[in-house]
Structure 1
Amino acid sequence: MVRRDGQIFYSLMFENKTQIPLDGFMIQLNKNTFGLAAGGPLQVPQVQPGTSERTLLPMVLFQNIAPGPPNSVLQVAVKNNQQPVWYFNDKISLLVLFTEEGRMERTAFLETWKSLPDSNEVSKDIPSIVINDIDATIERLSSSNMFFIAKRKNGNQDVLYLSAKIPRGIPFLIELTTVVGVPGLKCNSNYNE
């Protein structure tokens, strides 16, 4: 999944390793946490043997929501006129859901964080990530619609506070804790259902 100009697309590449041309491609997505569904038919030209074709399929949200606890699995079925249905699982990146309107004012961020129940907080340690430059990290996160709120020092650790929103205006409040140049990142996030 990719996000471009506020729209979510499913970026797909079809590679033909058979001896015959393939055409008539269709796609179906199973129910999923965010109700992601195709925003139209799959547009793939005929794929000749030994070649490949890329396409961007526009996606819509909240069309086919799966019940149960949230997860990032996307079950996909693709077929064409010459072959049986191909089934595979993909992952939904939360980053593509972050909208361009995710910036919060500092006071609103603090009030929202304090008002959310502890049960809405998720914590994850990511031991392999190394942050070497805080400002470059903030800029990179901003390009993914994660907006800088504040920074503080806690001993030798840098703590960053960021905001993001997914569609329907659901805010994500994010706290990242790291030691510059040392492997390891702790991420606490709070969300308002």
Structure 2
Amino acid sequence: MNKVPPLQPGSSARTLLAMVFSQNVSPGAPNSLLQVAVKNNQQPVWYFSDKGLLHVFFGEDGKMERTSFLEAWKSLPDDNEFSKEYPNSVISSIDATVEHLAASNVFFIAKRKNANMDVLYLSAKVPRGIPFLIELTAAVGVPGAKCAVKTPNREFVPLFFEAMESLIN
């Protein structure tokens, strides 16, 4: 429990709270809802919730070499591959997108052209060594992107797609 020094009305303070990935998980499918309870002196407990997107857990160790990526992609069964369309996403620059994703620990591996589309291969990893092998397809300046992902942990796929949508929009 983090303690914040007493505050006067209208003032604020910052504190850091350590979070552990996949600890004290509620039953059911994982979701991005972060439930918070704050004890205070004016009322017993103040409750609120917010989104805690998966990409905040992407680690700096998520970068894969090209050959490792290819081997991992081939080693995962086809039913561990999922895709999602983002019809409103517009990639205005490949370089800027790669840089933006890298700032959130989504790492560039390779790029290829497929007709007028750019296909980016990327990797990310969450704690406990769970990798995400990513194929992001878009035409620069044209609305619409498609993201395919392969991962050994299928239960995190909806959270992954939610995080990617926030990163590419």
Range into which the TM-score falls when normalised by the shorter chain: 0.7 to 0.9
Counterpart in 1 of 2:120?
160
Contact kept, 8 Å, 1:158 with 1:178, in 2: the verdict is yes
Structure number with greater CO (CA < 8 Å, separation at least 6) is 2
The structure with the greater share of residues assigned to helix is 2
Are residue 45 (structure 1) and residue 5 (structure 2) matched?
Answer: yes
* 3-state secondary structure, aligned to 1:123: strand
Are residue 119 (structure 1) and residue 79 (structure 2) matched?
Answer: yes
User: 1: distance between equivalents of 2:142 and 2:5?
Assistant: 48
Structure 2 unaligned segments of length 5 or more: list them. 154-169
Aligned runs of 1:26-41 on 2, under 5 Å? 41=1
User: 1: distance between equivalents of 2:21 and 2:92?
Assistant: 36
TM-score calculated relative to the size of structure 2: 0.82
Contact kept, 8 Å, 1:43 with 1:57, in 2: the verdict is no
Pairwise CA distance, 1:170:
0.9
Query: Superposition RMSD on alpha carbons, in Å?
Result: 1.6
* 3-state secondary structure, aligned to 1:113: helix
User: 1: distance between equivalents of 2:93 and 2:22?
Assistant: 37
The count of residues paired between Structure 1 and Structure 2 equals 153
Pairwise CA distance, 1:96:
1.1
Q: Name the aligned partner's letter for residue 78 of structure 2.
A: D
Pairwise CA distance, 1:148:
0.7
Give the percent of matched residue pairs that are identical in Structure 1 and Structure 2. Answer: 68
Structure 1 unaligned segments of length 5 or more: list them. 1-40
